[in-house]
Structures are given as structure tokens and as C-alpha cells.
A = this chain, B = another copy of it.
Amino acid sequence: MTDGLTIAEASQRLGMTSHTLRYYERAGLLPPIPRTEGGLRRYRPEDVDFLRFLAKLRLMGMPIRQVRQYCELFRQGDETMGERRMLLEQHRAEVIQQIQGLQQNLEILNLKIELYEQGWKHGTSLSNDCSEKLRNLLEGKI
């Protein structure tokens, strides 16, 4: 049978366990995967494509329930393309925010490390340039 990959082959290509592949299907994150007469899954190229994109969504922090929503829209056909686009645009905005947050906090981490490089101690050389910047950033919000 050359009409698709076994679950073991697919999981290897995708870098997930077969446990996870079954879990995703059961949880509705995938369209149902076709089976052999014996009931074994056979992953077609388009299933693998879908899973590859799904994996990226997960890596970008999209929660399972939103991936499921995306999959349900996908299965409803072409009329839902606008909705799917909106869902992705919304998530894109979140990813951009996440990156910005990380970059701001990275700046704080850089300053803290610089202070450690200067052999700085809490309460010492209060008028230090770094420690003042750090204090301002930390007090900035939350």
C-alpha cells in the first residue's frame, strides 16, 4: 500500500510521537485521516502539509482550542476562508506582541547581566548607570 505514510513514518517526518498524532486527531485538530481496510491510518501528503502548518501554529503558542477552531473552519470548505484568515491575523498580532515583550524583557536581562559583570552588589554604587536604567525599566509597568 503506497497510498500514504504509516503513523510511524509520519511521526518521524514531523518530529512528533505517534501518541501525539493520535491525540491531535482525537482532539479535532486534524481532519480525519484515511484508514486502510484494517483500520490503520495512512497519512497523505496533504495531511502531512496540514500537520506541518499545525506544528508551526503550536510553536507560535496558539492554544489547542484555536487550532481546533481553525481545523473545523477548514473542514467546512471555502466559504470559511475569510474566518480562517481573521483567526490567523488575530494570532499574528499576538505573536508580534509576544516578540516585543520578549525583546523588552531581554533588555532588562542584559542590564542585569551587565551589573553582574561589574561585580555589583545590591545597595552598592546606587548612582550606577546600569542599575538606574534597570530600576526604571523594572518599575515601568507591573
A38 interface hit (Cβ, 8 Å) = no
Query: Of residues 119 to 141 in A, which have CB atoms within 8 Å of B's CB atoms?
Result: 119, 121-122, 135, 138-139
A56 interface hit (Cβ, 8 Å) = yes
A1 interface hit (Cβ, 8 Å) = no
Query: Of residues 39 to 80 in A, which have CB atoms within 8 Å of B's CB atoms?
Result: 46, 49, 52-53, 55-56, 59-60, 78
Chain B residues within an 8 Å CB radius of A139: 52
Interface magnitude class on chain A:
35 or more
A contact face: mostly helix, strand, loop, or mixed: helix
Q: What is the total number of copies of this protein in its complex?
A: 2
Contact A92 B116 (CB under 8 A): no
Contact B92 A110 (CB under 8 A): yes
Query: Of residues 88 to 117 in A, which have CB atoms within 8 Å of B's CB atoms?
Result: 88-89, 91-92, 95-96, 98-99, 101-103, 105-106, 108-110, 112-113, 116-117
Contact B105 A102 (CB under 8 A): no
Shortest Cβ-Cβ A-B pairs, 5 listed: A85-B116, A15-B142, A52-B138, A60-B105, A56-B105
Identify the A interface with B (CB < 8 A): 14-15, 46, 49, 52-53, 55-56, 59-60, 78, 81-82, 84-85, 88-89, 91-92, 95-96, 98-99, 101-103, 105-106, 108-110, 112-113, 116-117, 119, 121-122, 135, 138-139, 142
- Can you spell out 14 A-B residue pairs with CB atoms less than 8 angstroms apart? A15-B142, A53-B108, A53-B112, A56-B109, A56-B138, A59-B105, A60-B102, A60-B106, A81-B116, A81-B119, A85-B116, A88-B116, A89-B113, A99-B106
